[in-house]
Amino acid sequence: MLLVAAFGAFLAFLDSTIVNIAFPAIQKYFHSQDISSLSWVLNGYNIAFAAFLVAGGRFADLLGRKRMFIYGVVLFTVASALCAVADSVEWLIAYRVLQGIGAAVLVPASLALVVEGFDAPRRAHGVGLWGSAAAIASGLGPPIGGALVEASSWRWVFLVNLPLGIVAVVVARRGLVESRASGRRRVPDLRGAALLASSLGLVTLALVKGPDWGWASSATIGATVAGAVAMAGFVLSSRHHRAPLIDPAFLRIRSFVAGNALTVVASAGFYGYLLTHVLFLHYIWGYPLLRAGLAIAPAALVAAVVAAVLGRVADRHGYRMIVVVGALIWAGSLLWYLERVGSTPNFLGEWLPGQLLQGVGVGATLPLLGSAALAGLSAGGSYATASAVVSSARQVGSVIGIALLVVVIGTPARGAAEEALRRGWALAALCFVVVALGAMFLGRARHVAADDAGREATRQPNPPARRPTPRRVSAAADQRPATSPEVDPLANLPLFAGLDAVALVELRNSAEHVELEAGSYLFRAGEPADALYVVRSGRLQVLRDDVVVTELGRGEVVGELGLLIAAPRSASVRAVRDSTLVRLTKSQFDKIADAGVLGALVQVLATRLHQTAPANVPRRTPEVVVAVVGVDHYAPVSLVARELVTALSSRLKVVDPGRVDRDGLERAERAADKVVLHAAVDAAGWRDFCLRVADRVVLVTGDPAPPSKLLPVRATGADLVLAARHVGREHRRAWEELITPRSMHEVHPGQVAAGLRPLAARLAGRSVGLVLGGGAARAFAHLGVLEELESAGIVVDRFAGTSMGAIIAAFAATGMDAAAVDANVYEYSVRNNPTGDYTLPTKGLIRGRRTHAGLHSSFGELLVEELPRQFRCVSVDLMAKRPVVHRRGLLADVVACSVRLPGLYAPIAYGGSLHVDGGVLDNLPVASLSGEEGPLIAVGIGARRSPRPASAPKHARTAHVPGIVDTLVRTMTIGSAMTQSAVLAQADVAIQPDTSDIGLLEWHQIDRAREAGRVAAREALPQIMALV
């Protein structure tokens, strides 16, 4: 990036000096023109360059620095070709003005790319290297120009830009990354730019024509007054325009004001003596233009080395003293020329020492003044605009320097040319003395400004909350009291806990115990309500229209509402596992329904109403019985069960009761948080019992391929442990299609505990799930969230996402750490800009080829089933008009379904249907991950906005009309945005980064979005740590 951006600066500044060396040849070609008229060939370029630099910088901040860099290079190259074919001074000056505008566009964009690309501690070094490239160009310009003029003609100093410009465009398109300024961007003050150009042109006209017109003539005074009026108009325009060329905030930064003012003075001296050197060597010493160009090259080469070295020194010690010493050395080099250089050529003895001193002075002064001017800018600021002001100051100085040189030299008489040119050296020396004195106003500026330091400080993560120390829960500490065989089990059910001994005897004698096998229905919706049931052991599902709305476990009541109000059953109830229930008819219930029982029943109803889950999110009770079941004879069932018990025991009370009957299992359930049963494939009866009574089934296979024989019914949706040595993608795909496992885990000999850790976390309800919402470029905030979670030691086993959130979640689910995810997202989104291939909007604004190629380049042939961490993403099936949760298939394809925002992209055909962006219906797919398996962290984008201060200007509070793309995206996702607050409430922790000032397609704003994610995640860390 630095190389490409610096090459653009090299191109523009090469032209500044290469034309200087060709000036005598141009003067000879247009021999009828005097020096004051021909000086416009130089000053026309410099005035246009200076006047439109800031506007060019503003446009770079507005439209993109890479884009404006390329546009500027193209304009500069075309104008160079026109200059080469100009047949009159007037046309040559006009084309030079056009060339100056091209340089004004490319130079600030070039420097801004460098400043944006380097962080605060290295920014001065980067700017120094950029300045070194400019210095090298200034040094190489004279010898290259001399060689071209000597070999052919002055026209070749312009034609040489053609191949260089073409190379710059090609390399920039491939190597540069787009960036823009943050916040709302407005069209710059073009009226102010025109007034500034007019002012500089009129004042320059008065200076160069004053000796001819007379300093007291009406023409000179009129041009001066008109220039002053134009400058006043520029100031007024800047004060009232919403996007002035010079931001008033810049003028409050002392280093910025002082650095630019001194740059004007230093540039006046630099360009003044540079032209003086060329004229002296050519006319006094009689050097050919090539030799003259070579004679002034050493200073530029020395300056490049000095600038690169002193840039690092300035980072540590500041700019003031370095600039003071450099300017004095610079002035001393001119004094050397005045005192030691004579009329007779003596390159080694007289000229070269001055060149070496000059190189040190230039390298220690001019580039560092630019760095000092930019030192006070905060990260993410309008670098293109600020750097344009710096470059504009340099060009204003060149205009003033050349104009003053024309005044000082005048039209000397024969034999007086040497004395006249020495006055040019004296003028330059005076400029550098002024710079040395003025450098004291730079203060102790260093490149890490206070606001940068504060920003860096905020990036340091807060000390994470102390994680609770894992402990083995004793029986005494268990919330559920352990019961002895003598205690009546009915008394332990919450509904009957308040009954006295007589009522319990009556209940035991009258109640009916119901055994319900797994998969069978207790009752169906619409049937008469003739009894209520209390779950003694097992697990039930409540279904409405075949959709599970809740699950009920031990001690919970079912069917009570219909009994109390004598209404038909409103839902169906089905057993998940073999269950035992206590059945009470209306008459039986009336016998024991004292105040205590009715109060308990009302409490059950109120609690259930309070805990009613949102639509499509069933409420579940804790899963107690876990059955580890072998699929084949190679399955290490005992090993897996033992490791799970060990892992679960770190936080829960876990028992492995061995082979028990129903009563023994019921006692174990009452005494522990988890009961782990295990059965090998050859223990058919025991295995069937385990499958019937299990709340959750874990299948273990030693053969990677699914068996040919029929698996038990409860294998569907079970957790799967693959204990084979070599598990291929075809095996994972086959298992996924066969049983649609709840989760899939691969274990290897010697690493069984590590392989089972994610499964144990799920069973314990400690598996962290992270849900990342869509939001295009704003979703880069997820990167900051990942960094903060990783820094806090939080392991995320489950990921889900929509749109851009799906892309980031997919990278994370591959097992990458936060830094690798960041690098891959940067490569996919920022460097390659997947939304950059616009087309005629017949089906969408974007072709989608870049997106398709980028996703397949990032994920290759990877399957969702192969991912080491669970991954889900959501798209919308246009034909079925419903959201689709993708859990299998080619990762690149399913993610592509999730990012196809309608209007921007055409729908994508997948699985026999048409899919569009999941954000249309579900921009934050919390429901795609199970909340019972562990805490869910949801990161919503666009749900939070920083309050605007009341003191903000009136125009800042007016509604901002977004661009067409932003409007389209917001419109398409408005439905899911309206429900985002409700969706966030389903998660255990909601993180809402403030990305309101980032445009949806501003991929270059990755740093700001990432930082917003960091800040929001740090705020939520205490809450997260309490859950894990």
Which of 962, 882, 972 minimizes the C-alpha distance to 919?
A: 972
Contact of 864 with 871, CB cutoff 8 Å:
yes
Paired sense of beta strands 512-516 and 719-722, if any: unpaired
| CA atoms of 725 and 705, how far apart (whole Å) | 12
Report helix, strand or coil for 543. strand
- Residue 814 tokens read as 């591959």
| CA atoms of 973 and 919, how far apart (whole Å) | 6
What size, in residues, is the chain?
Answer: 1028
Paired sense of beta strands 512-516 and 557-558, if any: unpaired
| CA atoms of 1002 and 177, how far apart (whole Å) | 12
> 422 vs 135, 275, 338, 405, 521, CA distance in Å?
24, 12, 6, 11, 108
> 718 vs 125, 508, 628, 691, CA distance in Å?
59, 37, 10, 10
Q: Is 803 a catalytic residue?
A: yes
| CA atoms of 292 and 280, how far apart (whole Å) | 9
Residue type, 768: V
DSSP 828: I
Strands (E), 638-695: 654-655, 674-679
Residue type, 90: E
Which residue of the set 182, 371, 803, 858 is catalytic? 803
SS3 per-residue string spanning 428-493:
HHHHHHHHHHHHHHHCCCCCCCHHHHHHHHHHCCCCCCCCCCCCCCCCCCCCCCCCCCCCCHHHHC
Report helix, strand or coil for 468. coil
Phi/psi zone of residue 559: left (φ > 0), alpha (ψ -120 to 50 degrees), beta?
Answer: left
Packing angle of the helix pair 818-825, 804-813 (nearest 10 deg): 140
Contact of 555 with 534, CB cutoff 8 Å:
yes
- Residue 997 tokens read as 């000032």
Q: Is 510 a catalytic residue?
A: no
DSSP 869: S
Residues 6+ positions from 813 with CB-CB distance below 8 Å:
799, 867, 868, 869, 870, 871
Phi then psi dihedrals of residue 245, to 5 deg = -60, -40
Q: What end-to-end distance do the CA atoms of the chain give, in Å?
A: 43
Report helix, strand or coil for 786. helix
Which residue of the set 247, 656, 673, 917 is catalytic? 917
Residues 6+ positions from 191 with CB-CB distance below 8 Å:
237, 241
Packing angle of the helix pair 120-151, 2-29 (nearest 10 deg): 30
Contact of 338 with 281, CB cutoff 8 Å:
no
Residues 6+ positions from 237 with CB-CB distance below 8 Å:
189, 191, 192, 195, 244
Place of tokens 């392989």: 755
Residues 6+ positions from 121 with CB-CB distance below 8 Å:
315, 447, 448
Q: C-alpha 56: how far from its chain's center?
A: 26
Which of 457, 316, 375, 309 minimizes the C-alpha distance to 120?
A: 375
Residues 6+ positions from 317 with CB-CB distance below 8 Å:
446
> 418 vs 94, 199, 279, 285, 415, CA distance in Å?
32, 33, 10, 10, 7
**897, burial (CB in 10 Å: exposed 0-12, middle 13-18, buried 19+):** buried
Contact of 778 with 966, CB cutoff 8 Å:
no
Place of tokens 């040919």: 708
Mind telling me the catalytic residues? 803, 917
